[in-house]
Amino acid sequence: MLCSVQAEWCTMLATVYTRTTGTKVNISQKGSGEALAQLIAEKENPKTDVWFGGTGDPHLQAAEQGITLEYKSPALPQLHDWAQQQARQSNYRTVGIYSGPLGFGYNTELLAKKKLAVPKTWPTS
C-alpha cells in the first residue's frame, strides 16, 4: 500500500486488513506526487495494490491516465457532496475521504485597520 497520509492511518488500516484477511500489508510512505510517479512508472507492470490518502489532483491524474481502477462503494451516498463529485469526475476511480486545510493567509494591514487579532486557529465544524 502506498500511504500518502499520516503513517498511523495506514498502519491502522493495514493492521485491520491483516487481522481480517490474514494477508500481510507492506506500507510505503510517499507524498502524493511521489506516489503518482511510482504508479506511472509501474503502469505496464503494476506492483502496488492500494494507494491511500494524499491530495486530490494526483488521484484525478491517475484516474485520467487509467492507472486506477473503477470502484463504486456502497457507502458512496453517505459521503459529502464534494467527495461524491470527485468520484463522479474520476469515473469512480478515486473518491475523497477527508478534507483538511493546508494553511491560511491574512492581510496584516486590513486586520490592523479593523482592529482584529491575527488568526491563530479556525473552527473545525
Looking at residue 27, what is its pLDDT?
A: 97
Is the CATH number 3.40.190.10 carried by domain 2-113? yes
pTM listed for this prediction? 0.76
Looking at residue 124, what is its pLDDT?
A: 61
Looking at per-residue pLDDT, the higher value among 115 and 123 belongs to 115
User: Is residue 125 pLDDT above 60, yes or no?
Assistant: no
Residue 121 pLDDT class (50, 70, 90 cuts): confident
d(CA 125, CA 4): 24
In Å, how far from its chain's centre is CA 79? 14
**Cβ atoms of residues 27 and 1 within 8 Å:** yes
Instruction: Give the pLDDT confidence of 5-54 residue by residue, as tens digits.
Output: 999 999 999 999 999 999 999 999 999 999 999 999 999 999 999 999 99
User: Which residue is it, cell 493546508?
Assistant: 102
Instruction: Give the pLDDT confidence of 44-82 residue by residue, as tens digits.
Output: 999 999 999 999 999 999 999 999 999 999 999 999 999
User: Which residue is it, cell 497520509?
Assistant: 5
**Percent of residues, the chain, with pLDDT higher than 90:** 83
**Rounded mean pLDDT of 102-115?**
89
